Amino acid sequence: MQRIILVSNRLPTTVEKKKGGIHYINSTGGLATGLDAFHQDNECLWIGWPGLSSEHMNQSEKAEIRQNLSEKNCVPVYITRSDVEKFYYGFSNKTIWPLFHYFPQHTFFQPDFWSSYVHVNTLFAEAVLSIATKNDLIWVHDYQLMLLPAILRKQLPDSGIGFFLHIPFPSLEIFRLLPWRKEVLEGLLGADLIGFHTYDYIRHFLNSVRRLLGYDNTFSQISCHNRILKADVFPMGIDYKRFSEVGLMPEVQKEEKSIRRKTGNRSLIIAIERLDYTKGIIQRLEAFDLFLSQNPSMKEKVTLILVAVPSRTSVDSYKQLKKDMNEMIGSINGRHGTIGWAPVLNLYRSLPFPTLAALYHSCDVALVTPLRDGMNLVAKEYIATKQDKTGVLILSEMAGAAKEMGEAIIVNPNNKEEIAEALRVALEMPVDEQKYRIMCMQRRLIRYDVHRWAYDFIDKLEQARALRENLQCKKLTESDCRTIRSKYSRALSVLFLLDYDGTLVPFADKPEKAVPDPGLIDLLRRLNSIKGRKVAIVSGRDRRSLDRWFAETGITLCAEHGVWIKEPGDDWSTTVSQQNKWKDELWPILELFADRTPGALLEEKEYSLAFHYRNADPELAFLRVRELMDALIHLVSNLNLGVMQGNRVIEIKNAGINKGTAAMKIVEKGSWDMVLAAGDDVTDEDLFSSLPKNSFSIKVGIGSSKADFNVESVEEVRRFLEMLCETGVETEVEEEIENW
Ligand code: GDG
């Protein structure tokens, strides 16, 4: 098995310096507790910040901490006080955290925060690179390290790099507010696999990638920088076994007795989280207030235990929240409470595990109502402890967990009437119903626990890496070039069949802008003038454009995907009997689609019609293309037409015409020792599949293809052609290969 390196902002062990001594304590929070079991089972390395700024330690303390952590398979990254302020409290917790949780009002866009974020991501990269080899699997976690995958990819192009986001990925309209949105997306795209808790987050992410960077996706696979990577859903589970056994632990039983002593036989409602504005604490208190007002019979019969774990205490919005929470609790207790009964019991601290477990185990209702939450493990942990199957979970629809826990009472956390009513229903729910609901949820939690989650991610990461490697297998290498050149130099007659757009010139936003540069014209002319070499452009372009650009080069031209062929010195000819009336019939239909798709444009060629959607909104274009294909399907079969889908273009022409049949007409005109073809899109696949045996074919870009080889770019095709152009007799070959 490969070595796994986990990387997250915080290590599972937090280092504290108190009274001159160094203490090692377990970190809290979903990520640390969730991954810890996986870390221990697999003895993998974990790289992260131990929680102390570097100014707090002298050199010998740093060395001591490094040594002690290494015994726990942990590697520390030390960051300065200034970076803790700007990277951690700043960009991570005042920019990304609020923005990704849909709180733009709490979001700061500060360039110094951003610079520090870039800097600390680089520090983490250095720490990983000092340890990792290309065979390792590197699993980066969460929003503090979103630039890390791309930084690592540059140095470790072959390694398997995975990334998991523990918080929501927001919709485009929110994400696009971030001034550094493109850099963040590019950072993530360095990974082979990007994991999210829910499918909604994937949709938002893919949409942002498409709209802001222009990279398309198919079935959640993105092609960019000549790599393929995947986004997938991995709803994080919990250590089910641990939570299911808490009722048997003597320390937990002791805690439970103590809780019951204080609360008598009142119904208990538990709410537990870090004190954070995303958790909906104020809205929940308002709802509880309303519930008490609406249900006077519940007086002295119910207690809400609100555990708020101190968090990011130096951030202003958190300080304000604490103040607001205390005021609300005071007002509720003052208004509804009696001498022996405080309706809300507030614990503002982190609890030891047995106390937390005892609270889960003994409370009748869990009120989990975050305004936004990536997943929410508290909801799952509560259900896992309920081995007698009694208890009710009220869960916010804004938590990722709501997607999996449909048997909970699902509420909108902003709707206090709904929450108050849910509380009433929960407290009155018949035991049989409680049992049924809990049983359904537990079954799911058992199946996909945190171990399964982690192994599943690693498994899919290995697959994603293998997919990338397979696609790279066909990459045109130096040794392939050597073989081709050697054969080429011995071939007396060679035919080049070359696509134009995306193969010899890059795509432009409008087709008319993609004109050939003088260097290309010169290259094709030189290649074509070598004895025994013939160059043909096989394009979807209309014949007028090809004539205008290439008439002087003496090369063969094939226009409109094979409708027209023009040999040098001849006129254009077509062997296909064409009739064109159908164009009048289809044009108004296409026009209607173009009018309803801003950015789309129509092109009329002599024997075909093209609907270009390169500049249209990708989401809308996706819909329109499906509608258009639906609308065309009957018409084209009646009129004996064919529909071709190219690179962001739909082209309609007479059936039976394609680049393959046209190219064969050119091939048949001579006797060739070798045929070389190059193209980039689906229409070129017809060309590749009809080539004779003695051929080499090249696809520009990644993705499966019938071509023999893949190259990355137009520039690479042109370098390749240039190299062949320079190739003369066999003796020259070796020397020129060195320059390739
Ligand atoms: C992030 C995302 C996502 C809480 N109080 C105490 C305590 N805890 C433990 C709970 C639970 C964890 O902390 C909290 O997990 P959550 O999932 O609720 O929330 P975040 O820490 O914000 O986690 C979240 C998670 O990552 C995983 O991907 O679900 O959406 O925001 O395990 O048990 N533990 C102890 N004392 C406490 O007082 N011992």
539 with 630, same domain: the answer is no
Q: Which of 447, 468, 493 is the last residue of a domain?
A: 447
* pLDDT tens, residue by residue, 207-261: 999 999 988 888 889 988 878 899 999 999 999 999 999 999 999 999 999 999 9
The rounded distance, in Å, linking the Cα atoms of 621 and 478 is: 40
Residue 212 lies in a domain: yes
CA-CA distances (angstroms) from residue 214 to 186, 210, 505, 599? 11, 4, 18, 15
User: Do 676 and 656 contact (CB within 8 A), yes or no?
Assistant: no
Contacts of 228 (CB under 8 A, 6+ apart): 221, 222, 467, 468, 471, 702, 703
201 with 341, same domain: the answer is no
The rounded distance, in Å, linking the Cα atoms of 256 and 381 is: 17
CA torsion through residues 224, 230, 235, 238, sign: negative
The pLDDT of residue 120: 98
Neighbours of 140 (CB within 10 A): 30
Domain count within the chain: 4
CA angle at residue 589 from 586 to 594, to 5 degrees? 120
| The two structure tokens encoding residue 163 | 């990334």
**Distance (Å) from CA 23 to ligand 1 centroid:** 22
Specify the CATH number for the domain of residue 613. 3.30.70.1020
> Looking at 119-123, 410-414, 616-620, which range is the least confident one?
616-620
* pLDDT tens, residue by residue, 698-717: 999 887 789 999 998 999 99
The pLDDT of residue 104: 96
Q: Which amino acid appears at position 389 of this protein?
A: K
Q: Which amino acid appears at position 390 of this protein?
A: T
* pLDDT tens, residue by residue, 659-680: 998 899 999 999 999 999 999 9
CA angle at residue 24 from 20 to 25, to 5 degrees? 125
User: Do 488 and 673 contact (CB within 8 A), yes or no?
Assistant: no
Nearest-CA residue for ligand 1 atom 1 is 30
Whose structure tokens read 């696809």? 699
Residue 471 lies in a domain: no
Residue closest to 179 by CA, chosen among 120, 95, 122: 95
| pLDDT-derived band at 737, boundaries 50, 70, 90 | very low
Q: Which amino acid appears at position 629 of this protein?
A: M
Residue 202 phi/psi, 5-degree rounding, is -65, -45
pLDDT at 181 over 50: yes
* pLDDT tens, residue by residue, 325-335: 999 999 999 99
* pLDDT tens, residue by residue, 446-496: 999 999 999 999 999 999 999 888 776 688 989 999 999 999 999 999 999
* pLDDT tens, residue by residue, 619-638: 888 889 988 988 887 778 77
Q: Which helix (H) or strand (E) is 31 found in, with range? A: helix 30-42
Specify the CATH number for the domain of residue 388. 3.40.50.2000
The pLDDT of residue 278: 96
Contacts of 129 (CB under 8 A, 6+ apart): 152, 155, 156
498 with 376, same domain: the answer is no
SS3 322: helix
The rounded distance, in Å, linking the Cα atoms of 630 and 645 is: 13
**Distance (Å) from CA 426 to ligand 1 centroid:** 24
The pLDDT of residue 497: 97
499 labelled catalytic: yes
Count of alpha carbons within 13 Å of 231, Cβ hemisphere only?
A: 26
293 with 318, same domain: the answer is yes
Residue 33 bridge partners (DSSP): none
391 with 487, same domain: the answer is no
Ligand 1 pocket test target in 28, 31, 449 with most atoms within 8 Å of CB: 28
Residue 95 lies in a domain: no
Residue 91 lies in a domain: no
| The two structure tokens encoding residue 461 | 């990461």
Q: Could you list the beta-strand ranges (E) of 213-263.
A: 217-218, 221-224, 227-233
The rounded distance, in Å, linking the Cα atoms of 536 and 487 is: 20
CA-CA distances (angstroms) from residue 686 to 659, 678, 697? 6, 12, 12
Q: Which atom of ligand 1 is nearest to the CA of 378?
A: 18
Nearest-CA residue for ligand 1 atom 20 is 30
65 with 170, same domain: the answer is yes
The rounded distance, in Å, linking the Cα atoms of 423 and 290 is: 10
The pLDDT of residue 83: 96
Ligand 1 pocket test target in 93, 376, 445 with most atoms within 8 Å of CB: 376
Q: Which of 36, 142, 289, 499 is catalytic?
A: 499
SS3 488: helix
Residue 637 burial by Cβ neighbours in a 10 Å radius (0-12, 13-18, 19+): exposed
**Distance (Å) from CA 369 to ligand 1 centroid:** 14
The pLDDT of residue 697: 95
Whose structure tokens read 């995306």? 502
Q: Could you list the beta-strand ranges (E) of 531-586.
A: 533-538, 556-559, 564-566
125 with 51, same domain: the answer is yes
The pLDDT of residue 596: 87
DSSP 90: I
pLDDT at 95 over 70: yes
644 with 676, same domain: the answer is no
Residue closest to 74 by CA, chosen among 66, 62, 82: 66
**Distance (Å) from CA 420 to ligand 1 centroid:** 25
Nearest-CA residue for ligand 1 atom 28 is 166
**Distance (Å) from CA 376 to ligand 1 centroid:** 7
pLDDT at 88 over 50: yes
Average pLDDT, the chain: 92
* pLDDT tens, residue by residue, 50-76: 998 888 888 889 999 999 999 999 999
Ligand 1 pocket test target in 102, 139, 236, 377 with most atoms within 8 Å of CB: 377
601 with 662, same domain: the answer is no
pLDDT at 738 over 60: no
438 with 328, same domain: the answer is yes
56 with 139, same domain: the answer is yes
The mean pLDDT value for 31-36 works out to 82
The pLDDT of residue 43: 75
Residue 93 lies in a domain: no
* pLDDT tens, residue by residue, 572-618: 988 666 677 888 889 989 998 898 888 899 999 888 899 999 888 88
Residue 456 lies in a domain: no
Residue 239 lies in a domain: no
**Distance (Å) from CA 273 to ligand 1 centroid:** 7
Strand 227-233 with 409-411, pairing? unpaired
* pLDDT tens, residue by residue, 682-694: 889 999 999 998 8
The rounded distance, in Å, linking the Cα atoms of 410 and 398 is: 9
The mean pLDDT value for 123-142 works out to 95
The mean pLDDT value for 386-411 works out to 96
Specify the CATH number for the domain of residue 534. 3.40.50.1000
538 with 640, same domain: the answer is no
Domain extent, residue 521, equals: 478-575+657-739
Q: Which atom of ligand 1 is nearest to the CA of 33?
A: 32
Q: Which of 590, 620, 654 is the last residue of a domain?
A: 654
Residue closest to 496 by CA, chosen among 361, 227, 244, 691: 691
The pLDDT of residue 246: 95
pLDDT at 275 over 80: yes
Q: Which of 233, 256, 283 is the last residue of a domain?
A: 233
Choice between 593 and 195, residue whose per-residue pLDDT is larger: 195
Q: Which of 396-405, 477-486, 506-515 has the highest mean pLDDT?
A: 396-405
The pLDDT of residue 425: 98
Residues lining ligand 1, Cβ inside 6 A: 28-31, 33-34, 166-167, 236, 272-274, 307, 309, 350-351, 353, 356, 373-378, 381
Residue 174 lies in a domain: yes
pLDDT at 739 over 70: no
**Distance (Å) from CA 29 to ligand 1 centroid:** 4
